[in-house]
């Protein structure tokens, strides 16, 4: 009698990856904290920005895996129109939410701290674009890979994308700060 079924093993593995990813993201964040605190409003931006990435990528993975299970999307030869529509929707949502988060961070800094730093909006949008490109690629590749290998992407992708989203978001914020 097998106590641990296939779903349990998939979920446990994804949770372990999520914990390791969270630790890696925390190390990145701690390593660059001296640079991050120089940007007014960045500490307001970071929590929402990190949360956004996993949510948007997770819903994309869920839509793709639902399409795979329902047979709407073929695992070997996916319908480009359906995939492209979902990718474009996820991308536009990420840009819009990044802009809103940047605007909120700017307004918080301006109203409460009396610091005028509108570049925080640009940092948020550029970082959102960079992180979303990375996450969309990871989401599509891993979702299709897991499905082809007989795994249920719904068991794995949520925690996995949350941790990869945290890592890619921190890296994207650092890159955007250098660009701006």
Q: Domains (ranges, CATH) in the chain?
A: 44-179 (1.10.357.20)
Among candidates 139, 160, 155, which has minimal Cα distance to 10?
A: 155
Out of 97-101, 143-147, 155-159, pick the least confident.
155-159
The model's pLDDT over 42-83, given as tens digits with 9 standing for 90+, comes to 888 888 888 888 888 888 888 898 888 888 888 787 778 888
Evaluate if residue 150 carries a pLDDT over 90. Answer: no
pTM confidence score = 0.85
More confident residue, 126 or 22: 126
Q: Is 135 helix (H, G, I), strand (E, B) or coil?
A: helix
More confident residue, 27 or 14: 27
Between CA 127 and CA 133 the distance in angstroms is 10
Place of tokens 């109203």: 111
Between CA 110 and CA 133 the distance in angstroms is 30
The dihedral built from the CA positions of residue 147, 152, 158 and 163, taken in this order, carries a sign that is negative
Cα of first residue to Cα of last residue in the chain, in angstroms, is: 59
Average pLDDT over residues 148-152: 84
The model's pLDDT over 107-143, given as tens digits with 9 standing for 90+, comes to 998 998 898 999 999 999 999 999 999 999 999 998 9
């Amino acid at each position: 009698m097998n106590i641990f079924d296939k779903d349990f093993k998939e979920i446990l593995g994804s949770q372990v990856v999520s914990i390791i990813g969270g630790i890696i993201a925390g190390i990145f964040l701690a390593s660059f904290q001296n640079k991050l605190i120089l940007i007014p409003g960045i500490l307001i931006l970071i929590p929402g920005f990190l949360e956004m990435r996993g949510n948007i990528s997770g819903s994309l993975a869920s839509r793709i895996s639902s399409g795979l299970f329902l047979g709407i999307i073929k695992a070997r030869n996916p319908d480009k129109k359906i995939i492209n529509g979902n990718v474009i929707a996820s991308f536009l949502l990420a840009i819009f939410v990044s802009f809103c988060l940047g605007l909120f961070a700017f307004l918080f800094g301006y109203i409460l701290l009396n610091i005028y730093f509108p570049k925080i909006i640009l940092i948020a949008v550029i970082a959102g674009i960079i992180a979303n490109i990375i996450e969309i690629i990871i989401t599509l590749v891993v979702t299709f890979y897991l499905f082809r290998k007989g795994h249920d992407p719904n068991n794995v992708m949520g925690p996995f994308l949350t941790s990869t989203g945290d890592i890619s978001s921190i890296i994207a914020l650092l890159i955007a700060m250098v660009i701006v």
